[in-house]
C-alpha cells in the first residue's frame, strides 16, 4: 500500500477560479513553466499550478480472460517498465476499481507539466498487453491553478483555517474522483457573491482536514466539466458526511454535474493493481 502525499491541501473545491480569471493576463508564467524540462518529483508536481491532470478509467474486455496466464502475469512488469521509461515526463498513479464500479476496473491519474507528455504515456499504455484488452470508459483532463477564492487576501480567516489542521488519519486506502460542473447562473454571479458562497461552502469542511485529503483540477473548455475533484481517505463514513455538508450549502443549487461518474477505488502501487487484475 502506497501513501500518497499531497503537498498542499486545497480545501475549497472551486476556490481557485475567480482569481485566475481576474489575473489571467498576468498569469501565463504558469503555462510557461509547463514547458520547462524538469524531472518529475511527486511532492513538487502535486503542489504546483499549471500542472495537467489526465484521469482515464478503463474496463477490461472479456477477452482479457483468454489471454494466456503467463502473458497476463507479465503485464504488471510491462506497466512498471513503461512508467520507468516516462518517469521524467509524467507522474503515474494507478487505482483499483474492479468490484466497486460498474464501468471501470482500474484508472490512471497522470500529472504532467506538458499535456502532450501525458498523452504520449497514455497512448503507449494502449499498446501494452493490458492496455490492448481494456476499453476507455471515461477521460477527464484538467489543469491546476493557484488558490483563488479562499486566498490570504480575500478571505484571511478561512485561509488560516485551512492551514490549522492537516491529515492525521491512517494512510488512505480509498480514492474518490468526482467531476463538477456549474450552471450559467453561477458563472454570471459577481466575483464577490461567488466568494461569499465559497466561504459558506468552506466553513463546514474545515472539520474534515484531518481525515480527507483533497486536490482540484480546472477543466472548463478542456473537457465537459468545470472541475475534477480528487479525494483520498481511510474513513468513508467521514467522507460521506463531508459530501453531505457540501450538499447542504447554497452553492450546491448551481451544480449541473456532481459525479456522473463518481469513481471510488482503492489505493495500491501500479504493479499491485495490475497483478490483482491478472489473477
Residues in region 149-188 near its own copies by CB under 8 A = 173-174, 176, 178, 184-185, 187-188
Query: x/- site string to its own copies, residues 18 to 47, per CB under 8 A?
Result: --xx--xx-xx-xx--x-------------
Q: What radius of gyration, in Å, describes the C-alpha atoms of the chain?
A: 19
- Does residue 123 interact with its own copies by CB under 8 A? yes
- Does residue 138 interact with its own copies by CB under 8 A? yes
Q: Nearer to its own copies by C-beta: 44 or 245?
A: 245
- Does residue 199 interact with its own copies by CB under 8 A? no
Q: How far, in Å, are 82, 124, 234 from residue 106 at the CA level?
A: 17, 17, 19
Nearest to 118 by CA among 17, 45, 175, 44: 45
Cell of 259: 459525479
- Give the shortest CB-233-to-its own copies separation in angstroms: 10
Catalytically annotated residue among 61, 72, 214, 257: 214
- Give the shortest CB-82-to-its own copies separation in angstroms: 13
Nearest to 110 by CA among 64, 177, 59: 177
Q: Nearer to its own copies by C-beta: 113 or 156?
A: 113
Site for its own copies in 246-265 (CB under 8 A): 247-250, 252-253, 255, 259-262, 264
Q: Dihedrals φ, ψ of 130, to 5°?
A: -75, -35
Q: Nearer to its own copies by C-beta: 32 or 156?
A: 32
- Does residue 141 interact with its own copies by CB under 8 A? yes
- The residues that bridge with 216 in the sheet, in sequence order, are 229
Nearest to 247 by CA among 160, 178, 172, 165: 178
- Give the shortest CB-223-to-its own copies separation in angstroms: 6
- Does residue 122 interact with its own copies by CB under 8 A? yes
How many residues contact its own copies, by CB under 8 A?
A: 89
Q: Looking at 93, 101, 197, 232, which residue binds its own copies (CB under 8 A)?
A: 101
Contact 226, 218 (CB under 8 A): yes
H or E element in which residue 58 lies? strand 52-60
- Does residue 221 interact with its own copies by CB under 8 A? yes
- Does residue 81 interact with its own copies by CB under 8 A? no
Q: Looking at 13, 48, 50, 215, which residue binds its own copies (CB under 8 A)?
A: 50
Q: How far, in Å, are 101, 105, 136 from residue 143 at the CA level?
A: 25, 25, 21
Assess whether 98 carries a catalytic annotation.
Answer: no
Q: Nearer to its own copies by C-beta: 155 or 172?
A: 172
**Alpha-helical runs (H) found in the chain:** 17-22, 29-35, 42-45, 69-73, 75-85, 115-125, 129-132, 156-163, 184-188, 191-202, 236-247, 270-278
Q: How far is CA 173 from the centre of its chain?
A: 15
Contact 205, 15 (CB under 8 A): no
- Does residue 193 interact with its own copies by CB under 8 A? no
- Give the shortest CB-254-to-its own copies separation in angstroms: 8
User: Would you please indicate which residues are annotated as catalytic (active-site) residues?
Assistant: 214
Amino acid at each position: 500500500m502506497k501513501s500518497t502525499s499531497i503537498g498542499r491541501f486545497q480545501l475549497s473545491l472551486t476556490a481557485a477560479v475567480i482569481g485566475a480569471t481576474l489575473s489571467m493576463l498576468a498569469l501565463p508564467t504558469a503555462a510557461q513553466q509547463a514547458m520547462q524540462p524538469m524531472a518529475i518529483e511527486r511532492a513538487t508536481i502535486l503542489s504546483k499550478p499549471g500542472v495537467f491532470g489526465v484521469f482515464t478509467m478503463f474496463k477490461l474486455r472479456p477477452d482479457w480472460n483468454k489471454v494466456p496466464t503467463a502473458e497476463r502475469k507479465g503485464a504488471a512488469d510491462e506497466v512498471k517498465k513503461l512508467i520507468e521509461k516516462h518517469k521524467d515526463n509524467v507522474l503515474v498513479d494507478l487505482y483499483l476499481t474492479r468490484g466497486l464500479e460498474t464501468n471501470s476496473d482500474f484508472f490512471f491519474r497522470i500529472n504532467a507539466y506538458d499535456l502532450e507528455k501525458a498523452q504520449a504515456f497514455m497512448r503507449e499504455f494502449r499498446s501494452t498487453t493490458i492496455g490492448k484488452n481494456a476499453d476507455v470508459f471515461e477521460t477527464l483532463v484538467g489543469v491546476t491553478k493557484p488558490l483563488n477564492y479562499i486566498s490570504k487576501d480575500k478571505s484571511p480567516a478561512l485561509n488560516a483555517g485551512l492551514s490549522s489542521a492537516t491529515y492525521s488519519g491512517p494512510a488512505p486506502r480509498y480514492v474518490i474522483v468526482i467531476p463538477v460542473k456549474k450552471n450559467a447562473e453561477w458563472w454570471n454571479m459577481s466575483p464577490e457573491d461567488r466568494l461569499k458562497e465559497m466561504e459558506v461552502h468552506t466553513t463546514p469542511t474545515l472539520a474534515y482536514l484531518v481525515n480527507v485529503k483533497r486536490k482540484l483540477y480546472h477543466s472548463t473548455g478542456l473537457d465537459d466539466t468545470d472541475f475534477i475533484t480528487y479525494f483520498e481517505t481511510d474513513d468513508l463514513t467521514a467522507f460521506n458526511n463531508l459530501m453531505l455538508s457540501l450538499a447542504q450549502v447554497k452553492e450546491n443549487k448551481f451544480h449541473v454535474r456532481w459525479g456522473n461518474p463518481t469513481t471510488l477505488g482503492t489505493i495500491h502501487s501500479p504493479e499491485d493493481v495490475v497483478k490483482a487484475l491478472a489473477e
